[in-house]
Chains A and B, each alone.
Chain A
Amino acid sequence: MSAEATYPKDHFLSGGWDLKSWLLTKDHKRIGILYLLSISAMFVLGGLYAGLIRWNLLVPDGTHMSADTYNKTFTAHGVIMVFFFLIPSIPAVLGNFLIPLMIGAKDLAFPKLNLLSWYLYMLGGGITLYALLVGGLETGWTFYTPYSTVFAQSNVEIAAVGIFVAGFSSILTGLNFIVTIHKMRAPGMTWFRMPLFVWAHYATAIIQVLGTPVIAITILLVALERIFHFGFFDPARGGDPILFQHLFWFYSHPAVYIMILPSMGVISELITCFSRKRVFGYSFIAMSSLAIAAIGFLVWAHHMFVSGMAVYSAMVFSALTYLVAIPSAIKTFNWVATLYKGSISWDTPMIYVFCFLGLFLIGGLTGLFLGNLGTDVHLTDTYFVVAHFHYIMVGGAIMGYLGAIHFWWPKITGRKYSEAWGRLSAVLIFVGFNLTFFPQFVLGYLGMPRRYHVYPDEFQVLNVLSTAGATVLGFGYLFPSFYLVYSLFRGEPAGANPWGAKGLEWTTTSPPPTENFHEVPVVTEEPYDYARAPKEAAVV
């Protein structure tokens, strides 16, 4: 391709590698890398807990660990993966790195606040990990009362503080993105010339700012309840445990859109580049992101249908839940239409795109079964739910995350990774993922409950299949850490635009200079202005 590409002499990492240059940096690109390192570590830890879960479920009689240990294991898996991996993942790593580049800015609006966000993440993570590892937490990541407030003998307050702190990391990132996108766009970069990745992060940021404070106050109330016995959620004093669930899910449902919207933004970027075709329905996809953010706040009680809440209220939430599926479907149709008559190339990022399309589709459709009041009574708190959300969060969000890492790796590091290993790992991950989680749909339908450390004997075959799949998946995840790190030392220099992609980030060097652009770009093109020409790579 671009055999003449050279590694730039002057870029954002050439200024120094000492500790101070990282820990006191205000450069959004370095902060993105700091997040990459920390969330990768969290992912490994969360993955180890997943391995323990699957190991326990190899046998139906729970002889591999006690019930209490199992409760602590799935709680740790959930807390780490939700709060410390999925929520920050794409926004904190790739949003931070790319948004200023994509809109032609020198940095985010508030670089020091950005660094503070990372420190809050680390502090919150440290406190929470202490709670999980020293003594443990067995309430589930959902902290339902009155168990968490009255009966649990574990580190609930400590974990609550950790999550509270991490929540503010998320809020400040969202605040930073909103102001940056409104105020820092380069001349000519109108709203409808912005990349869809930026639209997706704008919608995500709105959710982060409006939703996270509610879980912050709620988790604070749980801690206060435990320490001062205030009585908010204590039935003995007239408190309603279901109120906790309302307040908890008011954030935690929109939180799942924090996890998926950025990934959808990634898919829009990747699918257009690897089809060499302008994305179909740009404004529909952009507006759908906002619609998902808004409607996503209206559906939370679909997590509570069997809690004892009023049936009439449940009906309202069920109807609203069906509404929220619509903008996701609009996006999916537009992506598929983008593929139509495009010139498809099967580079690693594109494999992840196809994984996303199929797996997100299954995850999304199974959500409809759960949104229906009648079927939810049968399926709730079973493995059907577990499979549903893993199809979205792993099959959707993580596939998007991995596709993004591979697509922008050359831009961030200036190096190309091995395509052969990349494609192999993507296929391995796809196979492992389906083997892990498809059996869980069947298990759930057949009635296997979640969060139990034992199960009826007749479910063993499917559980063993699931654990086998998890093993394959684990290996699949391991490979990128090897070949990506290897590329840092031995990878071919990527040049400014190894994929021949459209977008301001590809007009600057790989890695970019500290100030992102040597000259402030002026935007005159519409987004994704791909010509019907073979892939060309610009050389810098």
Chain B
Amino acid sequence: MSETTTAHHPALQHQFTDLRQQKEAVTLGMWVFIAQEVLFFGGLFAAYAVYRSMYPAAFSAGSHHLSWKIGFANTLVLIGSSLTMAMAVHFAAIGMKRRVVGFLLATVLLGSVFLGVKYFEYGDKIRPCLGDGPYTGCLVPGERFDAAALHLEGAEGGHAQIYFSLYFGMTGLHALHMIIGIPIILGIAFLAGRGAYSPEYHSPVELVGLYWHFVDIIWIFLFPLLYLIGAH
């Protein structure tokens, strides 16, 4: 057995007998956490399934109003950040500290680009709702929602509000997960820079990687379901 798997490794917590058990436990723990995240987002996807089946026209109109080009570009950015994250984990496993830090920072950069783009996307929809009327082009559900901007009227306007509720709710929850993840990645990058990780012990990098890839997967579904309804 390698010396570092004895009870003397500084990263070994007292309730575990060796690093291997600890690594298996924390990895399983993160997968179980991701499982509950699937159900957490799942409630919103279920609401989406129900309302899209009830209101296909309003959902199509709402979806056409989003910029698929921006969504497409942002999807590539996020997939890129998953690549850089996978690279960071790879280099952690072979102990190349500087590359770990570099790729973690690249992940943060790409994630921030994604969030920046979302900020502008949201802004276009929210800005018309502010101040005094008219609220032309306001796409925030509520009293100021401008159904005419989608060429909808009457009950369909209400259905489109539900579409945009899901748009803001689902992408907002997704963005929140990124906003939480980015500081954590930065923290781990800092620790990596200080030499906290080695081939024998780099679980935090792996675990944050699992989290980040999950966030990417959510977006992989959100993009077609929100941006690409109906033929273009």
A touching B, CB within 8 angstroms? yes
Mark out the residues of chain B between 19 and 35 whose CB falls within 8 Å of any chain A CB in the assembled complex.
Answer: 21, 24-26, 28-29, 32-33, 35
The interface centre, meaning the residue of B40, B43, B162 with most chain A CB atoms within 10 A of its CB, is B43
Question: Is A490 an interface residue, CB under 8 A from the partner?
Answer: no
Q: How far is the CA of A240 from the CA of B44 in the complex (A)?
A: 14
Q: A106-B14, A221-B169, A230-B165 are in contact. Are A216 and B40 (CB under 8 A)?
A: yes
Check B161–A237 contact: CB distance below 8 A.
yes
Q: Which of B145-166 contact A (CB under 8 A)?
A: 155, 158-159, 161-162, 165-166
Within the complex, what minimum Cβ distance (angstroms) separates B44 from chain A?
6
A238–B36 CB distance below 8 A = no
Check A232–B24 contact: CB distance below 8 A.
no
In the complex, per-residue mask of A164-199: 1 if CB is within 8 Å of any chain B CB, else 0? 000000010001101100111000000000000000
How many A-B contacts are there with CB distance less than 8 Å? 114
Task: Looking at the assembled complex, report how far the CB atom of B71 sits from the nearest CB atom of chain A, in whole angstroms.
Answer: 21
Please tell me which one of the listed residues B16, B25, B47 contacts residue A232 in the complex, with CB atoms under 8 A apart.
Answer: B47
Interface centre among B21, B29, B33, B42 (most CB of A within 10 A): B29
Interface of A is mostly: helix
**Is the C-beta of A243 less than 8 angstroms from some C-beta in chain B?**
yes
| CA distance in complex: A9, B14 (Å) | 23
> Is A231 engaged at the interface, CB distance under 8 Å to the other chain?
yes
**Hey, which chain A residues are within 8 Å of B140, CB to CB?**
228
Q: Is A247 an interface residue (CB 8 A)?
A: yes
A237 and B159 within 8 A (CB): yes
Whether B36 and A108, one on each chain, are in contact in the complex, defined by CB atoms closer than 8 angstroms, is no
* C-alpha gap A184/B142 in the complex (Å): 52
| Bound Cα distance A212, B33 (Å) | 12
Of listed B36, B41, B58, B161, residue having the most chain A CB within 10 A:
B36
User: Which A residues touch B33, using CB under 8 A?
Assistant: 175
B: contact size bracket: 35 or more
With an 8 A cutoff between CB atoms, is A146 at the interface? no
Q: Among A183, A213, A228, A247, which residue has its beta carbon within 8 angstroms of that of B36?
A: A213
Q: Is A24 an interface residue (CB 8 A)?
A: no
Interface mask (A103-119 → B, CB under 8 Å = 1, otherwise 0): 00111111100000000
Q: A230-B165, A231-B161 are in contact. Are A212 and B36 (CB under 8 A)?
A: yes
Name which residue of chain A comes closest to B144, CB basis. A229
Interface-centre pick from B39, B140, B158 (highest chain A CB count, 10 A): B39
Does B180 have its Cβ within 8 Å of any Cβ on chain A?
Answer: no
Q: Would you call B143 and A183 a contact (CB within 8 A)?
A: no
Residue contact B169 to A179, C-beta cutoff 8 Å: no
Once the chains are docked, how many angstroms separate the CA of A238 from the CA of B165? 12
User: Chain B residue with minimal CB distance to A225?
Assistant: B165
Contact of B28 among A106, A171, A182, A250 (CB under 8 A): A182
Among B14, B25, B32, B39, the residue within 8 A (CB) of A184 is B25
Do B36 and A109 touch (CB < 8 A)?
A: no
Residue interface bits A200-217, CB-to-B below 8 A is 1, else 0: 000000000111111011
Q: Please list 22 pairs of residues, one from A and one from B, whose beta carbons are closer than 8 Å in the complex, sorted by A's number.
A: A106-B14, A106-B15, A171-B36, A179-B32, A182-B28, A213-B37, A214-B40, A216-B40, A218-B43, A229-B143, A230-B141, A230-B165, A231-B142, A232-B47, A232-B166, A237-B141, A237-B161, A238-B54, A238-B162, A239-B162, A243-B47, A250-B43
Additional A-B contact list (20), CB under 8 Å, known A106-B14, A184-B21: A109-B15, A110-B25, A178-B28, A182-B28, A183-B24, A183-B25, A213-B42, A214-B42, A217-B40, A217-B44, A221-B47, A230-B161, A230-B165, A231-B141, A232-B162, A237-B141, A238-B158, A238-B162, A239-B162, A247-B43
